[in-house]
Amino acid sequence: MIARIRRREPGALDLGAALHPVLRRVYAARGVREVAELSVALERLHPVSTLEGVDAAAELLARQRDAGRVLIVGDFDADGATSTALMVRALRAWSFVAVDFLVPNRFEFGYGLTPEIVALAAERKPTLIVTVDNGMSSGAGVAAARERGIDVLVTDHHLPGSQLPPANVIVNPNAGASRFASRALAGVGVAFYVVAALKRLLDGSHAPPRGAPGPAEFLDLVALGTVADLVPLDANNRVLVAQGLKRIRADRCVPGLRALLSVAGRRQADLTAADLAFGAAPRLNAAGRLDDMSIGIRCLLADDAALAGELAARLDQLNQERRAIEARMQAEALAAVRRLGEADSQAVRHSGLTLFDESWHQGVVGLVAGRVKERTGRPVIAFARAGDGLLRGSARSVAGLHIRDVLDAIAVRHPDLISRFGGHAMAAGLSLECAKLDAFARAFDEEVARCREGAADTDCIETDGELAAHEIALDTAAALRGGGPWGQAFPEPCFDGLFSVRNARVVGDRHLKMWVEVPRTGRAFDAIAFNHIERATVVAGGAAIGSAAREGPFELPSGEARLVYRLDINEYQGERRLQLLVDHVLPP
C-alpha cells in the first residue's frame, strides 16, 4: 500500500522576506539557492547558439526558403503537435514558399520517420523533411529519404540509440556529446531553438522577413507542449513555460489554444501550467490516441476562430471517448494487480509491472500505465495488440529510474526480446512479439529490481509538510499559484495534515466532496478529491496479467484522517473561496 509520507526537507536558505513564508519553504525544498534563480525573464534562457546544430539547421532551412518544399513530420502526441504547428507557423510567417506537414497515423505506421512514411511523404515531392519530436530512432527512414535525394533535418529530444540517423543535420540536446545546459528540453523546446536560430539568420540576410513575428510569439505553443510532455521544469523550461503562460493570459495565443481552453472550461486570465496539463493537453492528445493527430495540428494552425472552435469541439468529443475507454482499462488493470497481490504473498517484492489485455486500445495504454504507476509506486508497462503478432507497449517510470535505460539493458541481456524501443527517463515505447510477453515481463521485473537495488524507497508520498491552521488561507493559495510554473521535477506544493472529515459524499460518480475541520482550531474548509472513487491501494507484481472485474462498493471516509492536499482558489459567481484539492485520504 502507498501510505507512508515523506516530507521534503525545507533547507536553511534565506530567500528574502519579500516572499510569502510558505513559498520560501517550498522553494528551498526544491533546491532553489538564491532569489535570482526564480527569475523567468526571457533573458534567463540559455543562449540559442549554445544548442549544438542549431546554426547548421538554420542554414539548411534557409536554403529552402525561396524554391524548396519543406515537409514537417511530427509525432502523434501533444509535444509533436505543438512542435509541428510551431515549425509550420514560423516558416510560413517568414515567407517560405512551400511548407506542409505530415503526422503518422499511429495505428497504420507506428512511431517516427519510417521508410513507409518516407514513401508517403515522397508523393508530395519535398526537398527537405524536418522531423520534430522524433527521428533519433529512425535510421532506416532517414536513410530511405536520403536515397530518394531528400535532405533531412532531425530535431528531437529523445535519447539516441547506438547509431545516429544519417541526417544532414541533427539538433538534440541529448545526442552524443552535447554540452547544452538543459537536456530537459521537450521536442517543442528544441523546435523553438531551431526557429530562433533561423530568424536570427534571416534577419541578418539581405532579405529579412518584413513585419514577421519573432520567435517569442510562438511561446504559447512551447508552453503547452513542454507541460504536456512532462519533461522536467528546470530553470530553462520554467522560463519557456512562464513566458508562454504570460502570453496566453494576455490573450496573445493562437485561436486553437484559446478554443481548447474554452471547451475545457479554463480561464485564460489566471491560467496555470496545471490548466494546460489537465485542460488543453488531454484534448489535444486525444486526437493522436484515438483518431488522427492532424486534427489537433489543424486546430493549432487555424487562424479563423470559428474553425478553431469546430476542431476543438471535435477534440473534446474524442477526449470524452478516450476517458471512457481509459476508465474501463484502468479498472481492469487495477483489479488484476490487486488479484495478483492477493494470490502471491511475495508480490510486494516484485519491482516492475507488465500489463496486457486482448481488448485494450493501443492509443490509451500509456495513460493506463501512468495511472497504475501512480497507484502502485512501481514502473509499469501496458501493452495492446498492434497486429501481425506484435504488441505495442507504453512505459511509465518512477523517480530515480530511467526507463529507457532499463529497456536498453534488457535489449543487451536478451537481444531477442524487444523488436524496437525508444523514449526518455520517465516514459518510453516499445514493440515485441506477443509470444515473448511473459519472458519480457520477467526480464523487466528483474532489471528494475537490479536498478533499484539499494535505492531510496519510492513507495511513499512526498509532501511539503504540515501547514499551521492560519497558513491554510487564501493568501497562501494565491502566493503558491503565483510562484509557479510547477511541474515535473519542480512539483506543485502539497501538504499533509490531520483533519476531521465531515459530510463526505460522492459527486459526479467518481469525485469525493468533503467538509474538513482542523482539530481543536474551529477552522473548517471545503475539500474535494477528484477521481477518488477510481483510486485503489494495490500491490505491484512482476508478471504479465490480464483483465478483471471492477471494485466493490466504496466506503465513504468519516472521522479523523490524514489528508495530502493542495491549496486552490475556487471562483464562483465572483466570489473567491479557498478549497483543498485532496490527493490522498489516509488513516490518521
Please check whether residues 112 and 242 belong to one and the same domain. Answer: yes
Query: pLDDT (tens digit, 9 = 90+) per residue, 457-507?
Result: 556 889 999 999 999 999 999 999 999 999 988 999 999 999 999 889 988
Residue of 367 and 50 predicted with greater confidence? 50
For residue 286, the model assigns a pLDDT of 92
For residue 540, the model assigns a pLDDT of 33
Handedness of CA 359, 362, 363, 366 (dihedral sign): positive
For residue 423, the model assigns a pLDDT of 79
Please check whether residues 228 and 279 belong to one and the same domain. Answer: yes
Grid cell at residue 308: 478553431
What b/e string do you get for 224-243 counting C-beta neighbours within 10 Å, with b at 16 or more?
Answer: bbbbbbbbbbbbbbbbbbbb
For residue 548, the model assigns a pLDDT of 34
Please check whether residues 153 and 210 belong to one and the same domain. Answer: yes
Please check whether residues 29 and 141 belong to one and the same domain. Answer: no
Please check whether residues 192 and 212 belong to one and the same domain. Answer: yes
Domain boundary among 452, 475, 500: 452
Cα–Cα distance list, 83 to 65, 153, 164, 192, 570 (Å): 19, 14, 21, 8, 33
Grid cell at residue 98: 512551400
pTM, two decimal places = 0.87
Residue 12, domain extent? 5-36+460-586
Which one, of 102, 166, 164, lies nearest residue 129 by Cα? Answer: 102
Asked if residue 524 belongs to a domain, the reply is: yes
Least trusted range by pLDDT, from 325-329, 345-349, 549-553: 549-553
Domain boundary among 399, 429, 452: 452
Asked if residue 126 belongs to a domain, the reply is: yes
Total domains, the chain: 3
Asked if residue 388 belongs to a domain, the reply is: yes
Q: What angle do helix axes 219-228 and 281-290 make, rounded to 10 degrees?
A: 70
Q: What mean pLDDT comes out for the span 241-246?
A: 98
Query: pLDDT (tens digit, 9 = 90+) per residue, 26-79?
Result: 999 998 888 888 899 999 999 999 999 999 999 999 999 999 999 999 988 999
pLDDT band at 374; cut points 50, 70, 90 = confident
Asked if residue 93 belongs to a domain, the reply is: yes
pLDDT band at 349; cut points 50, 70, 90 = low
Q: What mean pLDDT comes out for the span 1-25?
A: 78
For residue 432, the model assigns a pLDDT of 93
Asked if residue 202 belongs to a domain, the reply is: yes
Asked if residue 328 belongs to a domain, the reply is: no
Query: pLDDT (tens digit, 9 = 90+) per residue, 192-223?
Result: 999 999 999 999 886 777 778 999 999 999 99
Query: pLDDT (tens digit, 9 = 90+) per residue, 492-501?
Result: 999 999 999 9
What's the rounded Cα separation, in Å, for the pair 520 and 196? Answer: 57
Please check whether residues 305 and 360 belong to one and the same domain. Answer: no
CATH number for the domain that contains residue 24: 2.40.50.460
Domain boundary among 452, 480, 503: 452
For residue 518, the model assigns a pLDDT of 93
What's the rounded Cα separation, in Å, for the pair 385 and 391? Answer: 5
Least trusted range by pLDDT, from 13-17, 322-326, 393-397, 415-419: 13-17
Asked if residue 222 belongs to a domain, the reply is: yes
For residue 457, the model assigns a pLDDT of 55
| Through-space distance between the first and last CA atoms of the chain, rounded to whole angstroms | 15
Please check whether residues 260 and 380 belong to one and the same domain. Answer: no
For residue 550, the model assigns a pLDDT of 37
Mean pLDDT of the chain: 88
What's the rounded Cα separation, in Å, for the pair 359 and 280? Answer: 28
Query: pLDDT (tens digit, 9 = 90+) per residue, 168-200?
Result: 999 999 998 899 999 999 999 999 999 999 999
Query: pLDDT (tens digit, 9 = 90+) per residue, 386-415?
Result: 888 999 999 999 888 899 899 999 999 999
Residue 533 reports pLDDT greater than 90: no
For residue 37, the model assigns a pLDDT of 86
Asked if the bond preceding 485 is cis, omega within 30° of 0, the reply is yes
Sort strands 390-396 and 380-387 into parallel, antiparallel or unpaired. Answer: antiparallel
| DSSP 3-state of 388 | coil
Q: What mean pLDDT comes out for the span 403-429?
A: 89
What's the rounded Cα separation, in Å, for the pair 240 and 216? Answer: 9
Please check whether residues 273 and 363 belong to one and the same domain. Answer: no
CATH number for the domain that contains residue 404: 3.10.310.30
For residue 11, the model assigns a pLDDT of 67
For residue 455, the model assigns a pLDDT of 60
Phi-psi region at 423: left, alpha or beta (left = phi > 0; alpha = psi -120 to 50): left
Please check whether residues 446 and 356 belong to one and the same domain. Answer: yes
Please check whether residues 147 and 127 belong to one and the same domain. Answer: yes
For residue 153, the model assigns a pLDDT of 98
For residue 334, the model assigns a pLDDT of 81
- What is the helix (H) or strand (E) element at residue 500, kind and residue range? strand 495-507
Please check whether residues 528 and 448 belong to one and the same domain. Answer: no
Asked if residue 371 belongs to a domain, the reply is: yes
Please check whether residues 277 and 395 belong to one and the same domain. Answer: no
What's the rounded Cα separation, in Å, for the pair 571 and 64? Answer: 50
Q: What mean pLDDT comes out for the span 128-145?
A: 95
